[in-house]
Structure 1
Amino acid sequence: MKAIAVLSGGLDCCVAASVYARDYDIHAITFNYGQKAFNQELKASRAICEKMGFTHSVIDLPWLAEISDSTLNTSEDIPEVEINDLDNLEKSLKTADSVWVPARNTVFTAIAASYAESIGAEIIIVGWDKEEAATFPDNSKEFLESFNELFKVGSPIDIEIKAPAIDLDKDEIVKLGAEVNAPMELSYSCYKGFEKHCGVCESCMRRKRGFKKAGLEDLTHYEK
């Protein structure tokens, strides 16, 4: 059986792909949309794919970089947060708005569907999760279910998006990763794109807290 995995190199998608690694021949795709962290995301994605035996492709989306005013791919500073800000919905929504890339997951998933049809893959694996769905609607269960309904209408083959973390918070994702032997130590979550995780952007802070709450060793190297 074949699968397409949308792999940014991050913690969530690393764990998600690892859940299906035993049962599927996985072709991972990584997107370059001009994000500051692309080089580190690519390094992480390649390392994960080499470790797990996945086929890997990179897809350049220069047009998405051109139309996006997200702090992820402009010269604007990426917000830094405190640990207590993570559960403050008002502050988290402001951060989410700052890093939002127009229709990113919609675009990525549509392209993944093209790849799935081309190789006869049965599933598309994504790292969407409950914790981030609170501020990113394209991580939500409703978004997942809607896209799967779309595939039933719009694809000539049976394709289903699989999001094993859709009901999980970050600490639960870390625990799941440990259960499936996901190479989480190879993943990269930082928005800023430093060689080491910055440790202060929201993505880094959620990663830090996830490992701490899970009670598992965090092998990530942080600047702060």
Structure 2
Amino acid sequence: MAHGALLTNGHRVKPGTQTVRAAVNSIREDLDAALQRDPATTSRLEMALASPGLHAIWVHRVAHVMWRRGGRWRLPARLVSQAARTATGVEIHPGARIGRRFFIDHGMGVVIGETAEVGDDVMLYHDVTLGGRSLDRVKRHPTVGNKVTIGAGARLLGPIVIGEEAQIGANAVVVSDVPSYSVAVGVPAKVRSSKPVAAQPDPYADPALFI
């Protein structure tokens, strides 16, 4: 067997082929997740061409790989992320960790800080901030669990934890942990309900609907 070749289903696969396939599958997964959450778009092609939120996360994934290499890769990673910010209105630090099937509806004004961690199947509306409350080089941005929805204009500040399937209302300012399966609204945000997402009108609707 040629050096570096892999066997997949009995066939030789060139090095890098599996990486390409994984990237293509990830893009398709993102597109299908976005279509599920955006009733204004009806095709993968339209979503791929006209969704700044998807463009931002795709560029972020490239920048994040560069960032994790460290050293001389850090500055190019920042420049890539800044180019995405200019093009999409979405600013994601290349150090932020973003899960699968992440979707930003509308995009504009979203800011995600360096030490933020975002789980799978998370949805953000526009003008959301996952920001810090400290200038120390420590974990200073939120950790967001799986299947969380964050409404337009919400501010999540500090190393807080948002439990899985929680929902954050529009314009809420969240500075403390939010339990799983909860709806948090207000300034400062308070938990207003704690019923399963399945019992609510639409798990991907703007949580402002539940206020």
Same fold at TM > 0.5: no
Higher relative contact order (CA 8 A, sep 6+): 1
Name the structure with the higher helix share: 1
TM-score normalized by the length of structure 1:
0.26
